[in-house]
């Protein structure tokens, strides 16, 4: 994540990818694996393209129909999930979070009508970030607020923000969670 | 009988011609990389990156030399895209060869970025 600081809101898409949960609720969440693979594919490519001088982000760099479909499936599954995932084997540091399922259900229902490369799927993923420590809760709240501002925006407005819109408080919050992770290592 | 012999000869000629045609086609497929490379060089850096990502989906050995050549692309992002694609299609021997032959700062940065993406 320290290598993926690009000066716009796009930095935080890499954080969403990095902190995508390994488990949601007490049952198997099939949408997680597909979402992880497709997020990785999409954001790895974007990570490389952003190393090109003056690269202008395009809608297809942010979201493809297959990624949208996987994220929609994930949002619906997360909206219907309940319970707590099994504790991972000992020796592992685990980040935990909780969310309001009805919120994800509501967002999931809007996926079919929202155009590609808009903020909606990322706002849904932000709700799956950990929040069991104050630094994490703060980052999650700030990121949700930041993405919420583009709730009604066209994709081009969101893409412009990904490229250019700096949110120093949000960036600082990300720095804080990275520092807290470093202190654990 | 004459007609039958003529028919057999005709069928044999068709079979020989078909086999020669198929044999002639094979090298053409593997030589495709050359004009491909010329077109590739004429693209912008962003287009070269997109081109390379598209090649990841092409199950065709003739694209591998182009990917290997792109490791030396003047733009480091293009080289990184090529390195990632080679890794993705399991062509790690070509990557190892590149990193063994190039030990400079640029190759080190590409290797580090590739590790980040792994």
Q: Kindly tell me if the per-residue pLDDT of B30 is higher than 70.
A: no
For residues A13-26, average pLDDT: 95
Cβ distance of B75 and A52 shorter than 8 Å: yes
* Helical H segments across chain A, by residue range: 11-18, 30-49, 59-62, 65-80, 101-110, 120-126, 134-148, 155-164, 168-184
Say if residue B90 is exposed, middle or buried (CB neighbours under 10 Å; 0-12, 13-18, 19+).
Answer: exposed
Cβ proximity of A125 and A102 under 8 Å? no
Taking Cα atoms as reference points, which of A33, A58, A45, A61 lies closest to residue A4? Answer: A45
pLDDT in tens, A33-78: 999 999 999 999 999 999 999 999 999 999 999 999 999 999 999 9
ipTM above 0.90, yes or no: no
Q: Kindly tell me if the per-residue pLDDT of A136 is higher than 50.
A: yes
Average pLDDT along chain B = 83
**In a 3-state reduction of DSSP, which class is residue B76?**
helix
pLDDT in tens, A100-117: 999 999 999 999 999 999
Say which residue the tokens 């949408």 belong to.
A31
Between B118 and A119, the more confident residue is A119
Q: Is A41 on the interface with B (CB under 8 A)?
A: no
Cβ distance of B84 and A55 shorter than 8 Å: no
- What values do phi and psi take at A95, rounded to 5? -100, 130
Mutate to test the interface with A, among B51, B54, B116 (most CBs of A within 10 A): B116
Q: Which residue of A3, A44, A51 is in closest CB contact with B77?
A: A51
Rg (CA), chain A: 16
Which of A25-34, A70-79, A111-120, B3-12 shows the lowest per-residue confidence on average (mean pLDDT)? B3-12
| Predicted local confidence at residue B26, as pLDDT | 47
pLDDT in tens, B65-89: 999 999 999 999 999 999 999 999 9
In the DSSP assignment, the letter for residue A149 is: T
Nearest C-alpha of chain B: how many angstroms from A46? 10
CB-CB neighbors (< 8 A) of B80 in chain A: 48, 51
- The pTM of the whole model exceeds 0.95: no
| Predicted local confidence at residue B33, as pLDDT | 54
């Amino acid at each position: 994540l320290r290598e993926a600081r690009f000066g716009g809101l796009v930095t935080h898409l890499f954080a969403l990818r990095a902190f995508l949960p390994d488990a949601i609720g007490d049952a198997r969440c099939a949408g997680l694996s597909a979402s992880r693979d497709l997020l990785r594919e999409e954001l790895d490519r974007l990570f490389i393209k952003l190393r090109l001088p003056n690269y202008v982000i395009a809608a297809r760099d942010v979201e493809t129909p297959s990624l949208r479909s996987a994220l929609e499936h994930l949002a619906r599954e997360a909206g219907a999930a309940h319970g707590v995932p099994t504790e991972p084997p000992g020796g592992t540091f685990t980040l935990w979070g909780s969310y309001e399922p009805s919120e994800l259900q509501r967002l999931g229902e809007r996926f079919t009508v929202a155009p590609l490369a808009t903020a909606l799927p990322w706002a849904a993923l932000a709700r799956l970030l950990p929040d069991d420590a104050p630094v994490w809760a703060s980052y999650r709240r700030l990121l949700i607020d930041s993405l919420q501002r583009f709730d009604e925006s066209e994709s081009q407005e969101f893409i412009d923000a990904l490229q250019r819109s700096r949110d120093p408080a949000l960036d600082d919050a990300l720095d804080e969670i990275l520092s807290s992770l470093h202190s654990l290592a | 009988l004459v007609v039958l012999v003529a028919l057999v000869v005709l069928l044999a000629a068709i079979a020989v011609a078909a086999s020669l045609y198929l044999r002639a086609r094979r090298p053409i497929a593997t030589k495709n990389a050359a004009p491909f490379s010329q077109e590739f060089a004429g693209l912008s850096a962003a287009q070269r990156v997109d081109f390379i990502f598209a090649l990841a989906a092409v199950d065709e050995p003739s694209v591998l030399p182009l990917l290997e050549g792109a490791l030396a692309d003047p733009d480091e992002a293009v080289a990184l895209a090529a390195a990632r694609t080679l890794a993705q299609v399991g062509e790690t021997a070509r990557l190892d060869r590149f990193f063994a032959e190039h030990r400079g700062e640029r190759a080190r940065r590409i290797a580090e970025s590739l590790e980040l993406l792994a």
